C-alpha cells in the first residue's frame, strides 16, 4: 500500500503543489514569527544587558496609581553618600524632544519615539558612548545618536533648534553618540543634554526620574542595597541589576509579542482557510479514484487499508508542506526585516535562530492541518464498495446530506447563540463581549460550511440567473456549479471566511467614520483640533491661550485618581474652554475654572449618589487627599472618556506629570480664517511638529487613519482571499479533468472552444459569487455585532459601506474568472476524440 | 466524381442520389515511436443522401477512424473529406466546430447526454449552442417519433440505456443535419433494445429522409442498413447492398479467410 501511495502522489505533482500551497504559506508565517521572535528576543536580551550595563542599582519612583512622582534631585547626593556606593547619578528623560534640521523642518519618525535625556557622565552607568565630538557638558549643548545625525545631516559645531516642553530653544551640537554596541535604536531619535539643561527643558526643575547607582568594587551588594533602601523616601524604591534587566526585557518582550501575534494571526487565517481547500481537494481526488479504490477493495484491500493509504498520502503531503514552510518562513524572516528597514524601523541584527521548538511546531501544524483536513475524505474512501469498480457512474452516488445539514444547522445555531449571548447577555466589559462574538463567529463559519451545500443549489441558480440569458454556455455553467453542491460549498467556504472578515472590518470602519462625523457635527464646536499622536508642547498651548485669535484654548491630559477605594481615570483640561468647545452633555451644574471643582460622569454620580454641590474626597498620585466639590454632571463619553474631569491648574503638583496629549481651539468672534491661518503659520514656525486642523480636515484625517488601519487588516485578508482563489482554480482543474468526456461530447456536438472556456470561467465566477455573497452576508452580521458590542463612546452609529461591498463582490467575481483561466484553457484545448473515449 | 472512386478502390458504386458526405483517397498515419500505423490507406467512399450506410470491419480495420475523419473530429494525413459540398480540409477549428454543430449529428456508443441537462435540453443542445431555436414543428415530430414525450423534463440518469440512446438519436435528428454519424450506437444495449434503436434509425431514414452512417461490428445491426461497406487494414475491401444479417455474416467469414 505504501508503494501505491507514493506512486499516486508522484503522478499528481501539480495537484499536490496547489493543495499544499496554503499549508506552506501558513507554516511559513508560523515559522517566521517564531524565528523572528527568537532572534529579536536574543538580540534584545543582549541589548537589555547593554542598557543596564554597569548600573548596579537604580532608584525609581513608585506609586500605587497614576503617574509616578518625580524624585527630589537631592536624592542623588544622599544615595551617593551611602557606604559602598562609588557613584550615583541623577537622570531625567522625556518623549517628544524634537531637534529641527538645518532646513527648518523638524526631524520626524513614523512611530518610534523621539526621546531626550540627561547625559550620564559615567561610562559604566551610561548606555551611550561618544563616537565623535564630546559629551554635552553645560548650558545649551546637546549630543544625538549617530543614525539620527546621519539621516538628518546634523553636523557637530552647528546650532539647531530643539522643540521641548519648555518651548523652542537653540542648542549647539557638540557630540555624536552610539547607543549600546550597534546603536540599535529601532528608528527612535535619542538626544542627550546636560542634566541641569534637561531638567529645565523637560520642566523637571529640581527633580529626577531616577538615580543610577554604581557600587564600589567588591562591595556587599545586598548590604549596600539595604542601606540605600533605608534612606529612601516612601515614594521611591531601589531596583537591583537583575530586576532592572527583567523589567527592561519584559518591556521589549511585550513589544515582540505583539509583533509575533500579528504574524501568527496571518498564519491562523492562512491555515484556517487552507483546511477547506485541502479537504476539498482530497475529497475530489478520491472521488475520481473511486474505481481504482474499489478495484483495490475488490481484490482484497480492507477499508482500513484504503483509509490508511489516504491518511499516509496526507501525512506525506503535510511533511512536504511543512518542510517547504520552514524554508519559506526563513525567507519571510529576511523579507520582513527588509520591509521594516524600508519603513525606517531597522530591526536589530540578530542571529538566525531555528530552534528545535520551531521545527516541531511547524511539523505539528503543517502535518496536523493536512491530516485533519484529509480525515473526512479518507473515511469516505474507506467506505467505497468493491462493486463500484464495475459501475459506470458519472456523478458519485448522492448520499443523504440530511445528517450533515442537521449537524451544520446545530453548530450554526450554537454559533448564533454564543454570539447573541455575547451581544445581549449579561457580560461585563468589551473584551468579554468581543471574545464571545469571535467564538460565535468561528462556530458560525463551521456550521455554515457544513450546512451550505443545502443552500448552494438555490443560491447558485439565483446568482446564475443572468448567465442563463447568455446562452447554453451560461446555462451549463450554472448547472455545473450546482451539480455538486457539497463541492461548490466547500470550494466557496474559504472565500466565505476571507470575505466575512473583510466585510466585518469594512462595516466597523465605516461605522467608526460615521460615528466620528456625527460626533464632530453634534458635540464638537471647536474650530481647530490638534492632529498629532505625540505629546503637545505646553509652551505652544500657553501661547495660543494668549493669542487674540482664539476665544478658547485647552490642552488635554490624562491620569489616575483614587475616589474612595477605587482608582479611576481622570481627564484634565481648561474647564470653561471645554464647555465652550464641546457639548459633553451637561446634565446639571456648569464647568468653571476652579481647581477645587470636579465634573462627574452621570452613571458614576448615580453609583456614588453624588449631586452638584456635594463634596468628594479625592486622592492624587502625589499622595495628597483633597476635598473637591462636584461642579457639574455630564453624560457624553465621546470627548471626556473618563469618569471624572477636573481643571488643568495645579495638575503638575497633583500628578507629577502634566503632558498634554491633544488640544483644541475656538476662533474668537469676527476672526477670519485668513487671520487664523496666519496665526497658525507663525506658531508653526516656532513649533513645527504640532499641527492643528480645522473640523473638516480633522474629520478627514481621522477617516484616513481608519482607512490606514483597514488597509493593514485587509492586507491580511487579501492573503486569505488569494488562497481561496487558488482553491477555486484547483477545484475547477479537477472538475474539468473529471468531466473530460462530457466536455468532449459538448465539443463534438458543436460547442466552440470559446464557449467551453466561457462555461468553465462562468462556473468559477458563480462559485466565487456564492462564496462572496455568503461571506459578505456573514460579514454584515458580524460587523453589526461588533459595532453593537463596542462601547458607544467608540462607535455609536452602524453604517454599511454598500458601494465598497458591491465593488468587493465584483472583484471576487472577476477574480473567480481569472482563477478559472487555467482550467478553462485546459477544457478548451481538450482533444475531442480523446476526450470522448476518456475513461 | 465517383468514377475516380471506382478506379481506386475497385468498388462498384451506383450513384442514385446526391452525396451527403464523402472521402477521397483518405489516408491517416499514426506514428508510435519507430512504428508507423496506416489506419486509413487511400479510402474513397461516398455516402448518399437519404440512405443508411453501415461501415463494418474487424477491430483496428480503421472504421472508426474513417468516421471520425469524415465527421471532422480527426484530421487526415492526406486526401480529403467533404460534408455536402464543403471540403473539411479547408476549414479551421472554429469553422469545423460550426460545421459539426449545424450539419453533423452524432450518436456515440455510450455517454451521449449531458447529465445536468434534461431530455428536452439535450435534444435542443446543438441549436442552443448555435444560439438558435429549432423549428418547433420539426422538434415536435422528432420528439413524437422518439416516443419520450412524457420524459422531456427528466435527467439522463433517470432513463434506461435504450431511452438514453433514443434521446441521442433525437438530438442528432433535431438539428436536421446533412448526415448523422453513429459509432456503435447499440454496443452497450441488449439485443431487443438495440433492435428498437436500429428500427428507429431506419425509420428516420425512410420517413424523414435522414442520412445515417453507422460504424458497427454487429451483422444484425448492419442488416438495418441500405448498404454495408467493409474495411480491413485501412482499405475498403467490399460492400453489400441491402444487407441481411446472414449475408453480412457470410461476408465476414470470407474476409476472415
pLDDT in tens, A608-628: 999 999 999 999 988 889 999
Determine the average pLDDT of the residues in B81-95. 86
Cβ atoms of A547 and A671 within 8 Å: the answer is no
pLDDT, greater one: A393 or A103: A103
Other Cβ atoms less than 10 A from the Cβ of A427: the count is 16
A345 — pLDDT class (breaks 50, 70, 90): low
**Percentage with pLDDT > 70 across chain A:** 92
> What is the average pLDDT value for chain B, to the nearest integer?
83
A391 — pLDDT class (breaks 50, 70, 90): low
DSSP for A51-86, written as a single string: HHTT--EEEEE--SSSSPPPEETHHHHHHHTSTTEE
Lowest model confidence (mean pLDDT) among A572-576, A711-715, A787-791: A711-715
Determine the average pLDDT of the residues in A621-649. 89
Determine the average pLDDT of the residues in A555-584. 91
DSSP classification of residue A347: P
Determine the average pLDDT of the residues in A321-343. 82
| Residues near A121 by beta carbon (within 8 Å), at least 6 away in sequence | A89, A135
Residue that has been written with the C-alpha cell 473584551 in this structure = A431
SS3 B14: coil
Contacts 24+ apart (CB under 8 A), A781-784: A782/A437, A782/A441, A782/A500, A782/A503, A782/A504, A782/A507, A783/A503, A783/A504, A783/A505, A783/A506, A783/A507, A783/A508, A783/A511, A784/A507
Ramachandran category for residue B22: left, alpha or beta (phi over 0 → left; psi -120 to 50 → alpha): beta
Indicate yes or no: CB of A472 within 8 angstroms of CB of B102.
no
pLDDT higher than 80, residue A313: yes
| Amino acid B166: pLDDT | 86
Q: Is the dihedral of CA A319, A321, A325, A327 positive or negative?
A: positive
Give the number of C-alpha atoms closer than 13 A to the C-alpha of residue A11, restricted to the C-beta side: 9
Determine the average pLDDT of the residues in A99-104. 87
B63 — pLDDT class (breaks 50, 70, 90): confident
Determine the average pLDDT of the residues in B56-83. 87
Nearest CA in chain A to B98: A750
Helix (H) or strand (E) holding B173: helix B161-174
pLDDT higher than 50, residue B4: no
CA-to-CA distance for A228 and B229, rounded, in angstroms?
Answer: 118
DSSP classification of residue A127: S
B159 in contact with A, Cβ within 8 Å: no
**Distance in Å, alpha carbon of A385 to nearest chain B alpha carbon:** 20
Chain A residues inside the 8 Å CB shell of B102: 750
Determine the average pLDDT of the residues in A216-236. 87
Nearest CA in chain B to A483: B116
CA-to-CA distance for A610 and A607, rounded, in angstroms?
Answer: 8
A630 — pLDDT class (breaks 50, 70, 90): very high
> What is the average pLDDT value for chain A, to the nearest integer?
83
Chain B residues inside the 8 Å CB shell of A756: none
CA-to-CA distance for A732 and A488, rounded, in angstroms?
Answer: 10
pLDDT higher than 60, residue B1: no
CA distances from A406 to A64, A599, A654 (A): 56, 56, 63
Residue that has been written with the C-alpha cell 482664539 in this structure = A550
Chain A residues inside the 8 Å CB shell of B155: none
Indicate yes or no: CB of B73 within 8 angstroms of CB of A476.
no
Determine the average pLDDT of the residues in B167-190. 87
Q: What are the residues facing B19 on neighbouring strands?
A: B48
Indicate yes or no: CB of B126 within 8 angstroms of CB of A749.
yes
- Retrieve residue A744's grid coordinates: 468532449
Residue that has been written with the C-alpha cell 455553467 in this structure = A477
Q: What are the residues facing B87 on neighbouring strands?
A: B82
| Amino acid A786: pLDDT | 83
Chain B residues inside the 8 Å CB shell of A746: 114, 125, 129
Lowest model confidence (mean pLDDT) among A532-546, A643-657, B74-88, B151-165: A532-546
Is A289 buried (19+), middle (13-18) or exposed (0-12) by CB count in 10 A? middle
DSSP classification of residue A536: B
pLDDT higher than 60, residue A130: yes
Other Cβ atoms less than 10 A from the Cβ of B132: the count is 13
| Residue B216 CA, distance from chain mean position | 10
DSSP classification of residue A609: T
CA-to-CA distance for A358 and A119, rounded, in angstroms?
Answer: 42
State the first-to-last Cα distance of chain B, in angstroms, to the nearest integer: 33
Is B239 buried (19+), middle (13-18) or exposed (0-12) by CB count in 10 A? buried
Q: Rounded to 5, what percent of chain B is helix, strand, coil?
A: 40, 25, 30
Q: What is the CA radius of gyration of chain B?
A: 18
A343 — pLDDT class (breaks 50, 70, 90): low
- Retrieve residue B194's grid coordinates: 438495440
Indicate yes or no: CB of A742 within 8 angstroms of CB of B68.
no
| Amino acid A706: pLDDT | 79
Indicate yes or no: CB of B115 within 8 angstroms of CB of A832.
no
Lowest model confidence (mean pLDDT) among A357-371, A394-408, A769-783: A394-408
A513 — pLDDT class (breaks 50, 70, 90): confident
Other Cβ atoms less than 10 A from the Cβ of A88: the count is 23
CA-to-CA distance for B17 and B48, rounded, in angstroms?
Answer: 6
Indicate yes or no: CB of B115 within 8 angstroms of CB of A742.
yes
Determine the average pLDDT of the residues in A672-699. 80
| Amino acid B6: pLDDT | 40
Give the residue numbers in A contacting B (CB under 8 Å), as ranges: 392, 394-395, 471-473, 475-476, 479-480, 483, 741-742, 745-753, 755, 832-833, 836
| Amino acid A246: pLDDT | 86
pLDDT higher than 80, residue A225: yes
CA-to-CA distance for A62 and A247, rounded, in angstroms?
Answer: 14
| Amino acid B3: pLDDT | 41
B7 — pLDDT class (breaks 50, 70, 90): very low
Helix (H) or strand (E) holding A645: strand A644-647
| Amino acid A110: pLDDT | 64
pLDDT higher than 80, residue B37: yes
- Retrieve residue A534's grid coordinates: 505625540
| Amino acid A111: pLDDT | 64
B97 in contact with A, Cβ within 8 Å: yes
Q: Is the dihedral of CA A2, A8, A14, A15 positive or negative?
A: negative
CB pairs under 8 A between A and B: 75
Other Cβ atoms less than 10 A from the Cβ of A749: the count is 24
Determine the average pLDDT of the residues in B242-252. 84
Q: Read off the pLDDT of residues A351-367 as tens digits, 9 standing for 90 and up.
A: 777 888 889 989 998 89
DSSP classification of residue A689: T
pLDDT higher than 70, residue B8: no
Cβ atoms of A561 and A568 within 8 Å: the answer is yes
SS3 A397: coil
Nearest CA in chain B to A743: B114
pLDDT higher than 60, residue B10: no
Determine the average pLDDT of the residues in B227-250. 87
Fold of B2-256: Rossmann fold (3.40.50)
| Amino acid A612: pLDDT | 93
Instruction: Indicate the pairing of strand A85-91 with strand A57-61.
Output: unpaired
B96 in contact with A, Cβ within 8 Å: no
Chain B residues inside the 8 Å CB shell of A740: none
Amino acid at each position: 500500500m505504501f508503494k501505491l501511495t507514493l506512486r499516486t502522489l508522484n503522478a499528481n505533482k501539480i495537484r499536490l503543489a496547489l493543495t499544499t500551497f496554503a499549508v506552506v504559506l501558513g507554516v511559513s508565517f508560523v515559522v517566521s514569527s517564531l524565528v523572528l521572535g527568537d532572534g529579536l528576543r536574543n538580540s534584545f536580551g543582549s541589548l537589555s544587558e547593554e542598557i543596564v550595563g554597569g548600573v548596579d542599582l537604580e532608584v525609581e519612583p513608585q506609586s500605587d496609581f497614576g503617574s509616578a512622582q518625580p524624585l527630589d534631585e537631592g536624592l542623588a547626593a544622599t544615595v551617593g553618600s551611602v557606604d559602598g556606593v562609588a557613584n550615583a547619578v541623577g537622570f531625567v528623560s522625556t518623549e517628544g524632544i524634537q531637534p529641527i534640521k538645518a532646513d527648518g523642518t523638524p526631524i520626524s519618525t513614523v512611530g518610534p519615539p523621539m526621546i531626550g535625556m540627561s547625559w550620564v557622565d559615567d561610562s559604566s552607568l551610561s548606555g551611550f558612548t561618544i563616537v565623535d565630538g564630546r559629551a554635552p557638558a553645560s548650558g545649551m549643548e546637546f549630543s544625538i545618536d549617530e543614525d539620527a545625525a546621519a539621516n538628518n545631516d546634523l553636523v557637530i559645531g552647528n546650532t539647531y533648534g530643539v522643540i521641548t516642553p519648555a518651548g523652542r530653544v537653540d542648542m549647539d551640537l557638540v557630540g555624536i553618540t552610539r547607543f549600546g554596541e550597534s546603536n540599535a535604536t529601532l528608528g527612535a531619535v535619542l538626544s542627550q543634554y546636560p542634566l541641569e539643561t534637561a531638567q529645565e527643558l523637560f520642566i523637571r526643575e529640581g527633580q529626577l526620574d531616577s538615580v543610577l547607582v554604581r557600587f564600589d568594587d567588591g562591595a556587599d551588594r545586598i548590604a549596600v542595597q539595604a542601606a540605600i533602601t533605608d534612606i529612601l523616601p516612601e515614594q521611591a524604591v531601589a531596583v537591583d541589576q537583575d530586576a532592572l534587566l527583567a523589567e527592561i526585557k519584559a518591556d521589549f518582550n511585550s513589544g515582540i509579542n505583539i509583533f509575533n501575534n500579528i504574524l501568527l494571526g496571518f498564519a491562523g487565517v492562512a491555515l484556517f482557510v487552507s483546511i477547506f481547500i485541502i479537504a476539498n481537494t482530497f475529497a475530489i481526488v478520491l472521488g475520481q479514484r473511486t474505481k481504482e479504490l474499489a478495484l483495490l477493495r475488490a481484490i482484497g484491500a480492507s477499508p482500513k487499508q484504503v483509509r490508511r493509504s489516504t491518511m499516509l498520502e496526507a501525512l506525506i503531503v503535510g511533511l512536504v508542506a511543512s518542510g517547504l514552510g520552514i524554508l519559506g518562513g526563513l525567507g519571510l524572516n529576511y523579507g520582513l526585516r527588509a520591509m521594516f528597514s524600508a519603513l525606517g524601523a531597522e530591526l536589530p541584527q540578530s542571529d538566525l535562530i531555528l530552534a528545535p521548538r520551531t521545527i516541531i511546531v511547524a511539523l505539528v501544524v503543517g502535518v496536523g492541518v493536512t491530516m485533519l483536513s484529509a480525515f473526512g475524505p479518507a473515511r469516505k474512501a474507506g467506505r467505497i464498495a468493491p462493486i463500484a469498480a464495475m459501475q459506470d457512474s458519472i456523478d458519485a452516488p448522492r448520499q443523504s446530506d440530511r445528517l450533515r445539514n442537521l449537524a451544520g444547522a446545530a453548530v450554526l445555531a450554537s454559533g448564533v447563540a454564543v454570539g447573541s449571548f455575547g451581544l445581549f447577555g449579561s457580560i461585563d466589559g468589551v473584551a468579554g463581549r468581543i471574545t464571545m462574538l469571535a467564538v460565535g463567529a468561528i462556530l458560525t463559519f463551521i456550521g455554515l460550511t457544513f450546512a451550505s451545500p443545502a443552500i448552494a443549489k438555490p443560491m447558485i441558480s439565483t446568482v446564475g440567473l443572468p448567465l442563463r440569458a447568455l446562452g447554453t454556455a451560461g446555462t451549463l455553467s450554472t448547472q455545473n456549479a450546482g451539480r455538486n453542491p457539497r463541492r461548490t460549498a466547500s470550494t466557496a467556504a474559504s472565500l466565505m471566511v476571507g470575505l466575512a472578515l473583510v466585510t466585518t472590518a469594512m462595516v466597523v470602519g465605516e461605522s467608526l467614520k460615521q460615528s466620528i462625523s456625527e460626533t464632530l457635527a453634534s458635540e464638537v464646536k471647536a474650530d481647530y483640533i490638534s492632529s498629532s499622536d505625540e505629546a503637545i508642547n505646553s509652551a505652544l498651548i500657553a501661547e495660543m491661550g494668549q493669542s487674540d485669535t482664539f476665544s478658547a484654548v485647552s490642552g488635554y491630559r490624562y491620569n489616575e485618581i483614587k475616589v474612595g477605594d477605587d482608582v479611576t481615570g481622570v481627564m484634565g483640561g481648561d474647564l470653561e474652554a471645554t464647555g465652550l468647545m464641546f457639548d459633553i452633555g451637561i446634565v446639571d451644574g456648569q464647568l468653571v475654572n476652579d481647581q477645587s471643582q470636579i465634573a462627574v460622569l452621570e452613571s458614576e454620580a448615580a453609583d456614588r449618589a453624588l449631586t452638584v454641590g456635594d463634596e468628594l474626597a479625592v486622592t492624587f498620585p502625589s499622595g495628597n487627599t483633597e476635598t473637591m466639590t462636584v461642579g457639574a454632571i455630564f453624560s457624553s463619553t465621546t470627548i471626556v472618556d473618563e469618569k471624572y474631569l477636573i481643571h488643568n491648574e495645579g495638575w503638575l503638583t497633583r500628578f507629577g506629570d502634566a503632558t498634554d496629549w491633544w488640544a483644541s481651539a475656538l476662533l474668537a468672534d469676527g476672526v477670519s480664517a485668513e487671520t487664523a491661518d496666519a496665526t497658525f503659520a507663525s506658531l508653526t514656525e516656532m513649533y513645527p511638529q504640532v499641527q492643528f486642523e480645522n473640523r473638516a480636515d480633522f474629520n478627514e484625517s481621522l477617516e484616513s487613519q481608519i482607512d490606514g488601519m483597514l488597509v493593514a487588516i485587509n492586507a491580511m485578508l487579501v492573503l486569505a482571499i488569494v488562497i481561496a482563489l487558488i482553491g477555486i482554480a484547483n477545484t475547477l482543474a479537477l472538475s474539468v479533468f473529471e468531466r473530460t468526456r462530457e466536455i468532449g461530447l459538448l465539443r463534438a456536438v458543436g460547442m466552440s472552444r470559446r464557449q467551453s472556456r466561457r462555461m468553465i470561467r462562468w462556473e468559477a465566477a458563480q462559485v466565487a459569487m456564492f462564496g462572496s455573497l455568503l461571506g459578505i452576508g456573514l460579514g454584515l452580521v458580524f460587523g453589526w455585532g461588533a459595532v453593537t458590542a463596542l462601547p458607544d463612546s467608540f462607535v455609536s452609529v452602524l453604517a454599511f459601506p454598500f458601494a465598497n461591498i458591491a465593488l468587493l463582490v465584483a472583484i471576487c467575481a472577476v477574480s473567480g474568472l481569472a482563477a478559472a483561466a487555467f482550467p478553462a484553457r485546459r477544457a478548451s484545448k481538450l482533444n475531442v476524440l480523446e476526450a470522448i473515449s476518456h475513461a | 466524381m465517383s468514377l475516380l472512386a471506382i478506379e481506386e478502390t475497385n468498388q462498384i458504386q451506383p450513384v442514385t442520389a446526391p452525396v451527403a458526405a464523402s472521402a477521397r483517397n483518405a489516408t491517416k498515419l499514426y506514428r508510435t515511436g519507430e512504428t508507423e500505423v496506416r489506419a486509413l490507406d487511400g479510402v474513397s467512399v461516398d455516402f448518399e443522401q437519404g440512405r443508411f450506410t453501415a461501415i463494418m470491419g474487424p477491430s483496428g480495420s480503421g472504421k472508426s477512424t474513417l468516421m471520425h475523419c469524415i465527421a471532422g473530429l480527426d484530421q487526415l494525413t492526406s486526401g480529403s473529406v467533404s460534408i455536402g459540398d464543403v471540403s473539411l480540409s479547408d476549414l479551421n477549428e472554429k469553422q469545423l466546430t460550426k460545421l459539426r454543430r449545424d450539419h453533423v449529428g452524432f450518436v456515440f456508443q455510450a455517454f451521449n447526454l449531458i447529465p445536468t441537462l434534461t431530455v428536452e435540453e439535450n435534444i435542443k443542445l446543438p441549436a442552443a449552442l448555435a444560439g438558435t431555436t429549432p423549428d418547433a414543428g420539426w422538434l415536435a415530430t422528432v420528439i413524437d417519433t422518439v416516443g419520450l414525450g412524457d420524459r422531456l423534463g427528466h435527467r439522463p440518469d433517470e432513463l434506461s440505456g435504450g431511452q438514453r440512446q433514443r434521446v441521442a438519436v433525437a438530438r442528432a435528428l433535431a438539428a436536421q443535419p446533412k448526415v448523422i454519424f453513429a459509432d456503435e450506437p447499440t454496443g452497450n444495449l441488449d439485443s431487443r433494445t438495440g433492435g428498437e434503436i436500429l428500427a428507429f434509425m431506419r425509420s428516420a431514414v425512410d420517413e424523414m429522409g435522414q442520412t445515417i452512417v453507422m460504424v458497427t461490428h454487429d451483422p444484425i445491426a448492419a442488416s438495418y442498413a441500405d448498404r454495408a461497406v467493409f474495411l480491413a487494414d485501412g482499405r475498403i475491401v467490399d460492400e453489400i447492398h441491402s444487407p441481411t444479417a446472414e449475408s453480412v455474416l457470410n461476408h465476414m467469414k470470407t474476409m476472415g479467410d
